[in-house]
Structure 1
Amino acid sequence: MPSPAGISVNDAVSRAIKTVLASLEDSKAENIVSIDIQGKSSLGDYMVVASGRSHRHVSAVADHLLKALKDAGLGMARVEGLAGADWVLIDSGDIIVHVFRPEVREFYNLEKMWQAPDLEEETLH
C-alpha cells in the first residue's frame, strides 16, 4: 500500500527496522533480538529486545536510538522508563524497542513469550 510520499508501508518499516538495529549496534547494545510480530499483535510490526550493561548504558542506548529515529525522519517516538533506565520502552509506531539491564531482561523474558509458537500453528495430537 503506497503512502502519500510514494513510499510503500513495507519500505518504510524496512527502513525503520534497519535504522533501529544499526543504532543499537552503534551504541554497543548487547544480545539484540528482532521479533517479527506482524499478524501476532496490533502493537506493531516488529519488537526488538536489547540489553545495556548498566543504567547509564541503557540510558545512552535509548538516547542514541531516539536521535537516530529522529535523524532518519521517522518522527519522535514515545518513551517510557528513561528516568530509571532499568527497562526503557521506545515505541516508534511500527517498531517497539525494549532496552533492559540484563537482570531485568532475564526476569521479564519478553522474547520467550513473543517467540513462542502460535497455538493455531501447532498441531495437537
Structure 2
Amino acid sequence: MPSPAGASGNSASRAVEIALASLEGSKAEDIVSIDIQGKSALADYMIVASGRSHRHVAAVADHLIKALKEAGLGTARVEGLSGADWVLIDSGDIIVHVFRPEVREFYNIEKMWSAPDLEDETLH
C-alpha cells in the first residue's frame, strides 16, 4: 500500500531502502547510513559509500539515480558526476555521497555527521 504523500518519514525510509539496495547491487563499498533527522533540515538520512575507481563511482551513482527515478521518487539533483571523485545525489529525503576511497578518507564526512550533538551532552 503506498504511503500518503505527506508522510515524509515513510518516503524517507523507502528511499533509504531503495538506495541501499541499489548501492549493494552496484558493489559499492563501506556503505554507511546516517539518520540526520533533527540535525539538519537538508534531509532525513545521509548515506555514504565508496567506489573503487572513477569509473565505478560514476556507475554506482548512475545506477542509483535510475533506481530512485524508477521507484517514483522523482529526479534527484546530482553534483560531481563528470569528475566522479565525489558524487552527491540529493533526492530530497536522502542525500547520498559516493566517493573514491582517498577522497572519502580526506573529507571524512560521516564522522562529522555521526558525532553526538554537543548540545545534548552539555544539558543538565
Contact 2:85 2:99 in 1 (8 A): yes
Q: Which moved more, 1:110-119 or 1:9-18?
A: 9-18
Q: Which residue of 2 aligns with 1:55?
A: 54
For residues 43-77 of structure 1, what are the alpha-carbon distances to aligned partners after superposition, in whole Å with 9 as ceiling and x for unaligned?
00000000000000000000000000011000000
Deviation at 1:3, TM superposition (A): 3.7
* Alignment gaps of 5+ in structure 1: none
Distance 1:66 1:123 in 2: 40
Give the alignment of 1:1-125 within 5 angstroms: 3-4=4-5, 8-123=7-122
- Superposition deviation, residue 122 in structure 1: 1.1
User: TM-score by structure 1 length?
Assistant: 0.92
Contact 2:11 2:93 in 1 (8 A): no
Structure 2 length normalisation: TM-score?
A: 0.93
Q: Which runs of 5+ in 2 are unaligned?
A: none
Q: Which protein is richer in helix relative to its size? A: 2
RMSD between aligned residues:
1.6
Q: How many corresponding residue pairs?
A: 122
